[in-house]
Amino acid sequence: MATTAATAGTAATPFAFPSTYNFPPFFTPQPNSTTRHSQLQKWSSLIQSWCRHHRTYRLSLVDAVDSPLFHNAALRKRLNLAEARAVVDWMTKKEEEGGGGQRAEWIEGAAAGGNTAPKSVAWIWWRRPEEWADVLVDWIDVTGQRGVVLTVFELVQGEATVSQGRSLITQTGSTENGRADHLAEFHGMDNDAMMKALNVLVKRGKASVFGNEGEEGVKFF
């Protein structure tokens, strides 16, 4: 059931596709609007769990349409670029607007393989920046680092989060501690995504960010 193809394989275990993935009509936009809505929800949750599994923060649609995410080789069904774009577009909208609750965000002017067309790369927010902010605050609390100045590089690449990151793997295996589970999930996080999360904290008055671009430091209150 799980297709283990060559993907950005940072994860040790293959991604387990939901049963929807093996349902042929899943890859055809449904003409019935109610059914379509249900289909979009399923796509959104699949894309999120896929990105989460592969620790993908920005999804380039041009690249992704040929990956197992959008291409089920066994069924010989695929979501083409335009349809993948429609799904992600739906994800970017708020729930009140009948969208997917802002689980994605287009990255303006992002180049993907020389393609600078709009709506080709998107943030996939399997955690929204606000949710990442909560994760960060939790981690700071648990590790007792309030008032400590950290660099963003440390947060993302630092040893403290590495060890957390490793224990994360063993802990998700044994599901011992649900809390520690997401503590250093941000290790190896996309730098810009991290900045977005930090900016949420800045707005909340929970942190301040200083320094030049690329060498930012951050202090949590």
Instruction: Give the total residue count for the chain.
Output: 221
> In the set 4, 10, 35, 177, which binds other proteins (CB under 8 A)?
35
CA dist 171 and 61 (Å) reads 32
> In the set 54, 55, 77, 119, which binds other proteins (CB under 8 A)?
77
18 near other proteins, rule: CB under 8 A: yes
* CB-nearer residue toward other proteins: 87 or 137: 87
Single out the segment in contact with other proteins by CB under 8 A; choices: 14-22, 53-61, 89-97, 127-135: 14-22
Shortest Å, Cβ 67 to other proteins: 18
Contact (CB, 8 A) for 38 and 98: no
Shortest Å, Cβ 206 to other proteins: 31
Single out the segment in contact with other proteins by CB under 8 A; choices: 56-64, 72-80, 159-167, 195-203: 72-80
* CB-nearer residue toward other proteins: 13 or 28: 28
106 near other proteins, rule: CB under 8 A: no
**Rg, Å, the chain Cα set:** 19
- Contacts of 161-164 with C-beta under 8 Å, sequence gap 24+, read 161/186, 161/187, 162/187, 164/139
CA dist 98 and 9 (Å) reads 34
Side by side, which strands form the sheet with 58-60? 58-60, 121-124, 104-106
Contact (CB, 8 A) for 54 and 10: yes
177 near other proteins, rule: CB under 8 A: no
Shortest Å, Cβ 83 to other proteins: 11
CA dist 40 and 43 (Å) reads 5
> In the set 38, 116, 163, 177, which binds other proteins (CB under 8 A)?
38
CA dist 84 and 47 (Å) reads 10
Shortest Å, Cβ 210 to other proteins: 42
Binding residues vs other proteins (CB under 8 A): 18-20, 23-28, 30-32, 34-35, 37-39, 41-42, 45, 76-78
